Amino acid sequence: MRIKSILNRPHPFIFNRYSVLLPSCLTFLVLFILKPFEFDSYLTKRLIFWSLIFAATVGTTIFCSVAVVKKIFRKTIEENWTLKHEVLLILGVVAIISLEVYVLFLLLSPGIGKRELFNLVVFRTLAISFFPVLILVLYEQNHHQKLQRQRAERFNQELLKNQNSEAQNPHKSTYSGKVVLVAENEKVALQVDTMNLVFAKAEGNYVEVFYHHAEKVQKELIRNSLKAIEGYLPAADFFRCHKSFVVNLHHIQKVEGNARNLELILEDIEEHIPVSRAKSERLLQLFQQKA
């Protein structure tokens, strides 16, 4: 159970040019310097040429593999990417690269025994790669977790200043009046005090609106888009923190961080509200402006 809980921890999906360049350069250096198999018999020009071919193959494979994963598992990457997914992705890419390297070596040295070469290149590569990949991902997990906790602490400091400022200067608050939310058919679906509306969540073709009523949190399901519902809410009090969530800034009690993203803890709400990386800096600015 302990291992399962570790593998299911949130993990950031980070892919940039270094994800391609570093493995490609490492491949080139290994072949050019160590000269495995018959590479030691090549003249310099041929050695450089084939080292570049192998390096380009590695880089192209990584780029294409990640592009396919991003297209197929876009929602998982954005909301549910875990340490387990990261390990499987890296090992899968390593397996594909190993097979391609195996084929390239066969083309260069057709006299080499296929089974022996397969065991050496594919099986050994995967066996040797497993623990370094796991250690690397665990290190990344710990590193990003630490960074996000530091960011969350910075948010909480600004949030505390904001809460103290509101308590000391209640007359400055714009937090008053009612909001009227309209459905697709242009009929009024909900009318509620601004101070009582906690957050709204996109759910397919509907929006779930959570609000306080009779000392309880109620939920109203409205057929409309979140963008349309957001348009009815005062910008000074509500913020689109994620593509699926709009939150009332006054109901944020705390900010927490995991390795993947920041999450908002709202008053009387069990669900943690995610903050997309693209929105986090803007949220911090809003905290600072209100403090």
Q: Where are the domains of the chain?
A: 2-112, 170-290
Residue 95, pLDDT > 60, answer yes
- Indicate if the pLDDT at residue 286 is higher than 60: yes
Nearest Cα residue to 10 out of 256, 279, 286, 208 = 256
Across the range 83-87, mean pLDDT stands at 93
What span, in angstroms and rounded, lies between the C-alpha atoms of 159 and 110? 67
Tens digits of per-residue pLDDT, 43-67?
Answer: 889 899 999 999 999 999 999 999 9
Mean pLDDT to the nearest integer, 92-98: 94
Share of the chain above pLDDT 90, in %: 61
Return phi, psi of residue 281, to 5°: -65, -35
- Rounded to 5 degrees, what are φ and ψ at 212? -85, 135
Query: What is the radius of gyration, based on Cα positions, of the chain?
Result: 26
DSSP character for 287?
A: H
pTM score, two decimals?
Answer: 0.80
User: pLDDT band at residue 164, thresholds of 50, 70 and 90?
Assistant: confident
Q: Report pLDDT for 174.
A: 55
Residue 243 main-chain phi, psi, to 5 deg:
-60, -20
Q: pLDDT band at 119, cuts 50/70/90?
A: confident
Burial call 170-205: b when 16+ CB within 10 Å, e when fewer: eeeeebeeebebbbeeeeebbebebbbbbbbbbeee
Q: What is the mean pLDDT of residues 246-262?
A: 93
Question: pLDDT tens for residues 176-227?
Answer: 689 999 999 999 999 999 999 999 999 999 999 999 998 899 999 999 999 9
Residue 262 contacts residue 245 (beta carbons within 8 Å): no
Q: Between residues 3 and 88, which one has the greater pLDDT?
A: 88
| Beta bridge pairs of residue 242 | 245
CATH tag, 170-290:
2.40.50.1020
Look at residue 10 and give its three-state secondary structure: strand
